[in-house]
Structure 1
Amino acid sequence: MTELRNILCGLLFLISSAVCAAMNRGEARWIGPAGDDLPIYADYLPVFKIDCDVKLKKGDKASLVYGADDPRLMNRNLNIYNLENRSGESGIRVEIDRREGCVAIYRSGYHPADDATHPIAKFEADNLIDGINHLQIASNLGFTDIAINGKHIGHAGINPVGNGGDYLAFPVLARVAVDIPTGSRAEISNITVSNFRAPGNVIYRAPGVYTSSARVPVVTRSMPELRTVITLPAGKVVESAEATVTARGIYDLSVNGTRVTDDYFYPGSTQYNKTHLYHTHDIAPLLREGDNTLSVQLAEGWWSGGSTFVGENWNFFGDRQSFIGVFTVRYTDGSVQRFHTVPREWFYSTDGPVVEGSFFQGEIYDAARRDAPDRVWKPAVEVAIDSTVNTTVGDWGAIDFRPSFGDRVRAVDTVTARSVTEPRPGVYVYDMGQNMAAVPLISFPALKPGTEVSMRYAEVLYPDMPQYASHKGMIMTENLRAAMCRDIYRAAGTQGESFSPRFTLHGFRYIEVTGLEGSLPLDSVRAVPVSSVSRIVAGYECSDTLVNRLWGNICRSTMSNFVSIPTDCPQRNERLGWMGDISVYAPTATKIADVSAILAQYLASVRDCQRADGKFPDVAPTGFGFGGMLWGSAGITVPWAHFSEYGDTAVLRGHYPAMKRYIDYLLKNTIDSVTGIMVQDRAWGDLADWLSPEYDRTDKSLLWECYFIYDLVLMSRMAAILGEEDDVAYYQQLADKRRDFFFDTYIDPATGKTRFSAFDPARKGQIIDTQASYALAIMLVDDSNPAFARHLVNAVSRENVADNGTVCPLYSLMTGFIGTAWIMEALSLTGNTGTAYRLLTSRTYPSWLYPVTQGATTVWERLNSYTDKDGFGSNNSMNSFNHYSFGAVGNWLLTRSAGLTKLDDKYIILTPEPDTTGAVTWARGWLDMAAGRAECSWRVDGDRVIYEVTVPDGVEARFSVPVGTDDFNGVIYRVDGTPVPSTEIVGITGVPSRVSLILPAGRHEFTTRMPAKH
């Protein structure tokens, strides 16, 4: 696999080198729409600036109105307050009062208690003058800043739901108007709307001077589409043809009206100021003699639009989409034609069918515009980098343009709606039966031209509980926060219309459809899950059906959260490459799916975001976020997980210098010089066992120290693999030193329990005694310490109390993202697999299976994302129902319970561990290897355990199981159904109560005595 990838990369590099050369020679240019023709759709724009000039004389007043007639506030089904305003009843009015010398903000129609006659904020403006005053309003997800004549005079939060990215976003730009009282001599002119984030390009200019109240006609411009015609000579036969292209944004490339690929979201997500990917598409089958039309539809993608949960990051990399490429045609006579993206030969349109294409907001498709004869095509312009990018991202002077393969996003399934309800008249909610990252595929009956069909998406519905009575059965969108997640299809009026967006992605189980006269048949409402993971390559099942559903949820969350990069969630205004999430999940992800290429590319983004001082980012790409060393350590743990599963030393070697710099950073910048304790920045954002029910009961620095030791141990191992002999000893010595420090600082000598350090002076010396503190101490510091094992078992098997006072029953899961990755392995490693099964099969909150009992079809971000007691609680400002972190238990299910560990394509280790407590009576797992499927299972039969193993041809297995006796007399062994006496078993070895032997290809069956309970 690795060798094939390297060969293909080499071939793609040769192709893309031609593109780079063409760019360097100026033959291929970045092209796009002119600077005054940028996309704008006012109803979907929640982050913007409005400027205008206001001419005043003493005593005058004048107002600028925006956010008016937001469609969501005119339809009770689209807002949480059940508002249904008429036109003119909603809006934000910013009034300049020359007589009072102030600026006031009024809000109407956004909340049931709004009073349009009373301001919600008022600021003194002592710099107003008689004459022209310049007003600037900066609106950022409800946070509003007012400046007069260049001076900032006030800040207010005006979103009644909540301000910032954690809430439904209000206001959007929507309708704009001026309000000038009768008799006022005020004039308003030079109204502009611009992007909030630098470079802050103007996206709309209103012509004229307003001397009385009037609506300002804000235009709509679609996502840019580019087009050219190339001519192939008559009489020549095309041997091959390819398009090597990329975009700032995402693109669909078509030749003669046919898309060159059904894949989604090229060129993928990278740190664009450092690494930008090319892709090469085979276009030979689509070409013909004579004229050929090349067309490119652009959209925001990861380049522009919403990209994080912070509004300041809107248009994170840049605010103009553009495209570049080389089209190469080779003929059988040996001649070659090349066509480049150059302004003089390409044209653009901004009145096409893709009105909006945004990951967060959704896609608006106007089918009537697809082939409209009145579409305007203008000459494309060269889009210089300094006219589109944000320089705070970093240096744009040395971008590495490189080919990519293996991380493409493709359709992986089609799911049909299972049921439909109508919670309110005309509101049809389709249950797709599972949560997923997908796009809809909706087939419509004959629709009238211009019919507008709205589709919204949600992971859950409002339940039948008193606090949600007014929304019962409706989709719950609060947890989507500032992502609008609404698609709109405007019908052309032709037969057989359907809609499946190409430029957005939603995380959902439910689709709400409105705008139709009746419900659609179930088979007309489908969803297409998309992923960079083409298939799951491992499986697990056992006697507990809820555990089996948990495994299915783990697999679906894996598929949902590997879309170009490994992400935290696929639904809300986030979808980021959080390092902490992939750090704990990589061992599971690498075993159940082929994520080799996507992780290798992701690590390149990690390096691109590494700071000059060596600190790894918390999020990659972007480098935005928080988390601290438990998050940054993914820069070490992920390459180790990658190597452990795929054996690719090239990835290790390419990443090794960055890892060394990171360790140097930790040594120099995060350890207190007096106490020796790892303190980082002593900030809230230096996270620990995130979302643990007992988060506040564990010393953060203890967990940091455990991971620091683990990082050092991994560095020593990787140095040995790479032949860096000096580093092997250096990192091991550091690990030993820090291990001694750990025991001196965090372990109470009298009890052997974990204790608080001087990092938390108020609790120094107090006993911690939490599950995470022992799980990490066992796995990352010392797995032979009997006190750690004893205290961990006690922490799991007792009643615990969560930080919020909730009493958690025996065998509750009290760990968060970090501890969950280690707790089951820590129990098994110390001989307490029976306790692990009790923990696994617990059904009460908090546990892995509680969400399953509540109908979860993917892994939840929180163990209490929903409870039958509190509903969603107060979680919806951060409440994903599709988050793989707690799914890290998948690694234990496969490698411990089923006992399957692949060393390489020709060797596996089989160490199944049956449950001696009776909670699970059988288990089975499988792995798809290059040679075929390897399987391992066990089942309890009275006082015996029967193991069945299938080893594919060309593969050798090391099989090792407990036998419940000190000799092998009780072992029954069959190969392909034929009994083999224990005296004839080749290669059998053992230690007391355990048997181990080498198995060749074939079907093997063992019967042993049940191991002792543990």
Structure 2
Amino acid sequence: MSTSLSLQHLRCEHLLDPLGIDALTPRLSWQLHSEKRSQRQTAYQILVASDLENLQADQGDLWDSGRVQDRNSVLIPYAGRPLGSRQRCCWKVRVWDAEGEVSDWSNAAAWEMGLLHSEDWQAQWIGLDWKLDAVHPQVMMPARLLRQRVLLPAEVVRARLYVSARGVYQASLNGVRVGDEELAPGWTDYDVRVQYQTHDVTALLHRGENVLGALLGDGWYCGHVGFLQVNRPNRHYGSVPQLLAQLEVELDNGERLLFTTSGDHGVWEATLDGPVRSSDMLMGEVYDARQELSGWDTPAWTVGEARWRPVQTFRGGVRLVADRAEPVRRVQTLPVQDVRPLGEDRYVLDFGQNLVGWVRLRVTGAAGQEVRLRFAEMLNPDGTLYTENLRYAQAEDRYLLRGEGEELWEPHFTFHGFRYAEVRGLGQAPTPGQLEAVVVASDTPFTGTFECSDEQINRLYSNIVWGQRDNFLSIPTDCPQRDERLGWLGDAQIFARTAAYNADVAAFFSKWMVDVADAQSPAGGFPDVAPRLTDTADGAPGWADAGVIIPWTLYLHYGDLGPAREHWDAMERFMQYLEEANPDHLWLNRRHHDFGDWLAQDGDDPENAFGSRTPREVLATAYWAMDAELMRRMALALGRLDDAAQYGQLHASVRSAFRAAYLEENGWIQGHTQTGQVLALRFGLLEDSERQAVTERLLEAIARKDGHLATGFLGVRELLPALSENGQVEAAYSLLQRESFPSWLYSVRQGATTIWERWDGWTEAAGFQNAGMNSFNHYSLGSVGEWLFKTVAGIDTATDDVGFATVLLRPQPGGTITAAQGRVLTPHGEVTSAWSVQKGIFQLEVNLPANTSARLTFPDGFQTGILEGGQPLSQVESFTVSSEFEIRLGSGRYLFTARESLAAGVKG
């Protein structure tokens, strides 16, 4: 008899059918689906074959796991024959259910290994040094065009292109673009490692003459990035962009041919005479369509007037690694919502959404006519673009027309953060469809949704999502518009859990953790930014700690111990780095920039206008204690029992030192700020008997601000959980729904479509804040999204059965919200929680995927008369009541109702 279970969403290393990976023991995952309640996996069998034919014949010639008694369906390590470079692996899985019945085999999935050894690479780095061309001595260089003829004497059976750049590239074969990645190969520390991409190009090649081409730009490697400094505005890693490409072709006559960027495998030629006159991430792109070389990357190309030269080769020596995360792609387009004239042939376009990307242009006009596009997030009172906050980033694109009918153009190697664009040079008012915004981002699949009965909270959640989409671009940037766009660790760690609810960021953060580890100093300090650039000091408290917090978050949310295992030595060096400098277990030394509770609203600090009144040593020591506890938990999960005991002792020592130094008898934490109180409550620094007094002082701190929040970057994530976890749900909702300044909804009321960097980025009383640091697209303060999912919708994972193998369902209604629902696509499948309160009846709809269970706790005030499917709990067999108000559920769909207790007020 066949089971009701079916298998879907097969993944390898968090990715669907990845091509060109370098994990030597790839980890395999799948999800189970069943309409039957309490259905689960008790065993599995995985087959991995070298080709689809063997797999279809149930021949696992690479690995047959046999029947393995195990409930786990997430990140199962491959344990078959050793895998070599270029190895193609086809796989499928079947499982046994709770009754011992076996499922059908899943559909086939696949992965392919990349080039695993340095000797696999025959290619060399090539490029064209701009100094050779006296006509183009400008700082911002034209993009290079590079080409190579590829002669194939027979039909193609299989072809792979392995390609990378020191800079950014777009590859093509016979005039057809290869892949759909933008800004490839992505940002890493190019002095340490460079990513490469693998493409199946079998269908793009044919017998006879072919041409492999590449457009090569500056990108992060030698373009402007970070804070623009007079003495080093660009060229942080090198002065010339370079290409690395290796085309491997198998023919139907049995031949295997190799074409690479080196003199041994065909002649490459390059020119600076293409149409992309400059393309810089901060400055924008200049494109002269009159210089287009039509067909330059096809066999039909004739040289014409372009000056093609032999390429130069450059030294290698850097480690090449396979791209391990989703690439940057075009993910959406948005039309113009409004057009406002500013004068003769000058218009401001409003796209209705602050976004990241560029504008696609359709235009007709005379040869040499120039269209200019400038970008901004906000408008000045007179309707012009507010660009002061861009600092030195020019953010301007220029297009010079070819003059031959309708022309379609979009830039190649730049991106902008904007809601508004000013266009000049069209010769007439923009027409519908003539300009549209192209949104680009790392293509992390979105996995969560949240909505409730309060439309302003829904707008807040949308702003959180857009802030994430806009700033997750190869790395988690802090902002997408000004001359910065760096991977700040503090911003990332406080937002990481919200990000994981919104999207599948497991591969994205796993890649970025490599950047963090690459940036660790010889002394052991993690940085403030990764890749470490411009800001070269060791990291501050709350920032450097991301080196521990991100691996923990990936383990908690996805059940992925890989980053913790991979970076364990780096994390240990960081912990030793702290303890060596702070033998008394108060983090007083090695605090470096020491940003404190950045951009808090709890009073002016004469020493730091961007900081807060929370004493920096209080904040730092609280983070150190949390680091130690997270290290203890990860050590236990990794089976490192001695390390777990060591970090347990360290946590106890730091906790004791914190309490002795900073906990006052009346429950105040030194400094008497909201952030100090919430960190003590949230980071396990208190005895149970002390929590009430510390919570009461927190309420006093909120009352001192007339019922408003005052937390900055580090306190904001912990504020509402500290309240709701300590019996103050209504106080938390009051802060969430407050509309006056400072609050989350204040920016919503001002029309914000993303999260602002500062609570006071713009206020009715003062207008714009200091333009020196005033981003309107910054995700940090959006870390409240985690609380929307965990507390309002009520979806969380157990810490003793991570990755949502056991789901915690704990919705807590409050405020004026009468309904809410959340959906989270977990590693096991979709979890939904939807509740409403009407006339004293609490109704909750729940869906749990197969192979999971849940612990459901009903909210305070709604714990009487509980029914499921209209039946008393005692008559329902598919779950157990483990305590008076907690129910243990198996997988399936449920509909609960509960009556409001007499002591509670009626909602709805």
User: Could you say whether these structures have the same fold, taking a TM-score greater than 0.5 normalized by the shorter chain as the test?
Assistant: yes
Q: Name 1:498's counterpart in structure 2.
A: 408
Structure 2 residue identity aligned to 1:599: F
Aligned to 2:202: 284
Q: What per-residue deviation string (whole Å, max 9, x for no partner) do you get for residues 287-307 of structure 1?
A: 122111111111111101211
User: Structure 2, unaligned stretches of length 5 or more?
Assistant: 1-9, 23-83, 88-112, 295-303, 603-610
Contact 1:585 1:888 in 2 (8 A): yes
CA distance in 2, matches of 1:322, 1:619: 25
Tell me how far 1:24 sits from its aligned partner: 5.2
Q: Does structure 1 residue 489 correspond to structure 2 residue 489?
A: no
Relative to structure 2, which stretch is displaced further, 616-625 or 848-857?
616-625
Q: Which amino acid aligns with 1:907?
A: A
Structure 2 counterpart of 1:361, one-letter code:
M
| Aligned match for 1:31, one of 118, 121, 126 | 126
Indicate how the Cα distance of structure 1 residues 796 and 545 shifts in structure 2: closer, same or farther if over 3 A, else same.
Answer: farther
Deviations along 1:353-382, one digit per CA (max 9) or x if unpaired, are: 111111100111111111274211111111
1:407 aligns with 2:326: yes
Q: Is the 8 A contact 2:556 2:803 kept in 1?
A: no
CA distance in 2, matches of 1:294, 1:510: 38
Note the C-alpha offset of 1:652.
1.4
Q: In the alignment, which of 764, 770, 776 is matched to residue 868 of structure 1? A: 764
- Return the letter of the residue paired with 1:699: P
d(CA) in 2 for partners of 1:905 and 1:496? 52
CA contact (8 A) 2:866 2:896 kept: no
Question: Is 1:335 aligned with 2:255?
Answer: yes
Specify the code of the residue in structure 2 equivalent to 1:457. F
Q: Secondary structure at the match of 2:865?
A: coil
SS at match of 1:635: helix
| 1:316 positional shift | 1.0
Q: Give the counterpart letter for 1:935 in structure 2.
A: T
Q: What is the match of residue 59 of structure 1? A: none
Q: Which deviates the most, 300-309 or 934-943?
A: 934-943
Aligned to 2:306: 375
Whether 1:707 and 2:623 are equivalent positions in the alignment is: yes
Amino acid at match of 2:595: L
**What SS does the aligned partner of 1:443 have?**
strand
- C-alpha distance in 2 between matches for 1:522 and 1:1011: 59
Higher mean C-alpha deviation, range 620-629 or range 418-427: 620-629
**Cα distance between partner residues in 2 of 1:636 and 1:360:** 31
For the 8 Å contact 1:452–1:515, the answer to whether it is kept is: yes
2:731 equivalent to 1:835: yes
| Aligned equivalents of 1:796, 1:813: Cα separation in 2 | 10
* In 2, Cα distance between equivalents of 1:727 and 1:798: 39
Q: In the alignment, residue 33 of structure 1 is paired with which amino acid?
A: L
Task: Determine the structure 2 residue equivalent to 1:1009.
Answer: 900
- Answer whether contact 1:618 1:624 (CA < 8 A) is retained: no
Corresponding position of 2:450: 540
Aligned 8 A contact 1:959 1:999 in 2: no
Greater relative contact order (CA < 8 Å, ≥ 6 in sequence): 2
Q: Tell me the residue number matched to 1:747.
A: 663
1:435 aligned to which of 330, 354, 370: 354
Q: Of the candidates 457, 478, 481, which is equivalent to residue 571 of structure 1? A: 481
1:221, 1:345 → 2: CA distance?
Answer: 24
Cα RMSD (Å) of the superposition? 2.6
CA distance in 1, matches of 2:886, 2:281: 54
Task: For 1:731-810, list aligned pairs within 5 A.
Answer: 731-749=647-665, 751-755=666-670, 768-782=671-685, 785=688, 787-792=690-695, 795-796=698-699, 808-810=705-707
Q: CA deviation at 1:958?
A: 2.6
Note the C-alpha offset of 1:964: 3.3
Partner of residue 30, structure 2: none
Match of 1:696 among 596, 612, 619: 612
Aligned-pair distance for 1:799? Answer: 6.2
Q: From the superposition, tell whether residues 648 and 954 of structure 1 become closer, same or farther in structure 2 (CA, over 3 Å).
A: closer
How far apart are 1:405 and its partner, in Å? Answer: 3.6
Once residues 1004 and 2 of structure 1 are traced to their aligned partners in structure 2, the CA distance between those partners, rounded to angstroms, is 31
- Whole-angstrom distance in 1 between the partners of 2:463 and 2:133: 41
Q: 1:889 aligns with which of 759, 775, 784?
A: 784
Q: What does residue 653 of structure 1 align with? A: 565
Residue in 2 aligned with 1:194? none
**Contact 2:445/2:503 (8 A) holds in 1:** yes
| Residue 315 (str. 1) matches residue 235 (str. 2) | yes
> Are 2:497 and 1:587 aligned?
yes
Q: Distance in 2 between matches of 1:291 and 1:410?
A: 30
Partners of 2:559 and 2:803 within 8 A in 1: no
After TM superposition, list the pairs within 5 Å mapping 1:380-395 onto structure 2.
Answer: 380-384=311-315
Distance in structure 2 (CA, Å) of the matches to 1:809 and 1:500: 49
Q: 1:1009–1:952: structure 2 CA closer, same or farther, 3 Å change rule?
A: same
Equivalence for 2:588: 679
Q: TM-score, normalised by structure 1?
A: 0.74
User: Contact between 1:483 and 1:572, CA under 8 Å: does it hold in 2?
Assistant: yes
Most deviating of 520-529 and 22-31: 22-31
Using the TM superposition, give the Cα deviation of residue 501 of structure 1 relative to its aligned residue in structure 2, in angstroms: 1.1
Contact kept? 1:326, 1:338, Cα under 8 Å: yes
What count of residue pairs does the alignment treat as equivalent? 784
What corresponds to 1:241 in structure 2? 159
SS in 1 for 2:739: coil
5+ residue gaps, structure 1: 41-202, 205-217, 386-396, 464-471, 756-767, 802-807
Which aligned pairs between 1:21-170 and structure 2 lie closer than 5 A? 27-34=122-129, 36-37=131-132
Amino acid at match of 1:824: L
Letter in 1 for 2:287: Y
Cα distance in 1 for residues equivalent to 2:579 and 2:216: 45
- Distance across 2 between alignment mates of 1:22 and 1:777: 49
Please state whether the residue corresponding to 1:679 is helix, strand or coil: coil
Cα distance in structure 1, aligned partners of 2:423 and 2:207: 45
Give the letter aligned to residue 915 of structure 1. P
936, 942, 965: which one aligns with 2:839: 942
CA 906–739 in structure 1, closer or farther in 2 if over 3 Å, else same: closer
Q: Which residue of 2 aligns with 1:628?
A: 540
Aligned AA (1:567): T
Identity level (%):
33
Q: What's the secondary structure of 1:882's corresponding residue?
A: coil
Equivalent position SS for 2:682? helix
Which amino acid in 1 is paired with 2:417? G
The 1:265/1:342 distance shift into structure 2, 3 A limit, reads same
The alignment partner of 1:239 has SS state of strand
| Map of 2:371 onto structure 1 | 453
2:487–2:529 Cα contact (<8 Å) kept: yes
Equivalent residues in 2 for 1:218-233, closer than 5 Å: 222-233=142-153
Q: Does 1:424 align with 2:343?
A: yes
Structure 1 position 441, deviation (Å)? 1.2
Distance 1:21 1:865, change over 3 A: closer
Kindly indicate whether the alpha-carbon contact (under 8 Å) linking 1:972 and 1:982 is maintained by their aligned counterparts in 2: no
Compared with structure 1, are the counterparts of its residues 231 and 606 closer, same or farther at alpha carbon in structure 2 (3 Å cutoff)?
A: same
Moved more, 592-601 or 279-288: 279-288
1:787: Cα distance to partner? 4.7
Supply the AA of the counterpart residue of 1:652. Answer: A
Counterpart AA for 1:375: A
**CA distance in structure 2 between the aligned counterparts of 1:542 and 1:786, rounded to whole angstroms:** 35
**Aligned with 2:220: secondary structure?**
coil
2:305 partner amino acid:
D
Q: Which has the larger radius of gyration?
A: 1
Indicate conservation of the 8 Å contact 2:460/2:745, yes or no: yes
Q: Which of residues 643, 646, 649 is equivalent to 2:555?
A: 643
1:930-953 CA distances to partner (integer Å, 9 max, x unpaired)?
665322122222333222222345
Query: Map of 1:903-918 to 2, 5 A cutoff?
Result: 907-916=805-814, 918=815
Residue type of the alignment partner of 1:924: Q
**1: distance between equivalents of 2:277 and 2:369?**
15
Corresponding letter in the other structure for 2:575: I
1:462 aligns with 2:393: no
Cα distance per residue 1:300-354 (max 9 Å; x no partner): 1110121111423621111111111111111123221111112570111112111
Q: Please say if 1:724 is aligned against 2:640.
A: yes
Q: Deviations over 1:838-887 (max 9, x none)?
A: 110011111111110000000110011111111103x2111111111001
Residue 938 of structure 1 aligns with an amino acid whose one-letter code is W
Amino acid aligned to 2:123: A
Aligned to 1:68: none
Q: Which amino acid aligns with 1:275?
A: R
